[in-house]
Amino acid sequence: MSHEIKIFLTVLGAIAAVLLVAYFGLALFFFFVALGNKKRPDMTVPAKNSLFERNADNPNLVAGYKWYDTTYHQEVIIKNRKGKNLHGVEFRNPSNSNVWAIVLHGWTNVNREMSSYAQEFYQRGFNVLLPDLRGHNNSEHKFVTMGWNDRLDVVDWVESIVKENPKCKIVIHGTSMGGATTMMTLGEKLPDNVVLAIEDCGFTSVKDIFTDQCIRKYHIPPKLVMPQASLINRIINGFFFGKASAVEQIKKAKVPVLFIHGDKDNFVLLENLDPVYNACPTPKRKHIIKGAEHALSSHWFHEEYWQVVDEFLEEYLTPVLSAQN
């Protein structure tokens, strides 16, 4: 082999190595930005550029924080099916209620940032559990799973509540990633104690939301990132993005579901709503809040939001509680 050919092959190999590193490097960057640990040293300080930072003066958010900080609550820890500790915050209602709301937060959020929802359920007589989803707050898991592995943790939370109070009734409520987690949870085998669910601006699947973000936020062709990032996620979190589908999970739902979405949502687009709504086989209601941006329906359209929730609770929860009594 001539000296020139050896040089050519060496250069060709170096170029191939650089391209390979770049190919997977971009995917690694995307993976860690999307699914890297979102824990914050101080949960009273909102994430930079988050909706909670941009809407810090919203009166319903402010009131929720004040309620959270001044209402008795305690940290709770249970073991999940994998032996990991699950952390959450629990508000026990002084009415000795046996009705529970499990309220699930969104991507990059902490449970305190769901305080306005917790306050509303608490004022309606619910006990409230605010779990830390994977990769957030006090979770022992290092990576975010966008609801997919979290769905099994939520089942474990449900079973822990039922074990303590076999006659309890449980409502699952989630916003954004929490909304997707809610729908994914509904596809699992749940105790009959879970009687209805409310999902607010959840996405159709992990693959869909990441594909959309590649295009609209990062301006990266999805084919350059998604296959490799999905493979990395399979190695680290145990699943390919395509498997984590809220649409497929909610097809197996057994309880009534309320779907809420803002028509000005520019993060989880409104087009995510109809596929999950149409896939749901149980009694359901769809409500679009005009003018609401992502995950802000309750905060800026508070009266409308909770009127819709109350109507749904009246229709599907009240008869269950009446029959129990």
Could you report the per-residue pLDDT of 171-186, keeping only the tens digit for each? 999 999 999 999 999 9
Could you report the per-residue pLDDT of 101-137, keeping only the tens digit for each? 999 999 999 999 999 999 999 999 999 999 999 999 9
Angle between helix 3-35 and helix 206-216 axes, rounded to 10 deg: 110
Specify the DSSP element, H or E, that contains 47: none
Could you say which of 3.30.70.270, 3.30.9.10, 3.40.50.1110, 3.40.50.1820 is the CATH number of the domain covering 46-205+244-324? 3.40.50.1820
- State how beta strands 257-262 and 284-289 pair: parallel
Could you tell me the residue ranges of all domains in the chain?
Answer: 1-34+222-239, 46-205+244-324
Burial of 232 (0-12, 13-18, 19+ CB in 10 A): middle
191-205, 210-224, 296-310, range with the lowest pLDDT: 210-224
Among 198, 191, 184, 153, CA closest to 169: 191
User: Which position has the higher pLDDT, 254 or 321?
Assistant: 254
> Do the Cβ atoms of 128 and 158 come closer than 8 Å?
no
| pLDDT the model gives residue 23 | 63
Q: How far apart are CA 239 and CA 236, in angstroms?
A: 8
Is the per-residue pLDDT at 289 higher than 60?
A: yes
- Return the amino acid letter for 203: F
| pLDDT the model gives residue 220 | 87
Could you report the per-residue pLDDT of 29-51, keeping only the tens digit for each? 889 999 999 998 888 888 888 88
Is the per-residue pLDDT at 214 higher than 70?
A: yes
Q: Which two tokens stand for residue 177?
A: 């990633």
Give the chain's mean pLDDT: 92
Strand partners, 128: 91, 101
| pLDDT the model gives residue 2 | 63
Q: How far apart are CA 91 and CA 68, in angstroms?
A: 9
Q: Which two tokens stand for residue 27?
A: 């995917």
- State how beta strands 85-91 and 74-79 pair: antiparallel
Could you tell me the pLDDT band of residue 273, with boundaries at 50, 70 and 90?
very high
| pLDDT the model gives residue 8 | 47
Which residue shows structure tokens 């449980």?
Answer: 170
> Do the Cβ atoms of 132 and 141 come closer than 8 Å?
no
| pLDDT the model gives residue 26 | 82
What is each CA distance from 158 to 153, 169, 188, 195, 196, in whole angstroms?
9, 10, 12, 12, 13
| pLDDT the model gives residue 18 | 42
Mean pLDDT of 72-91: 95
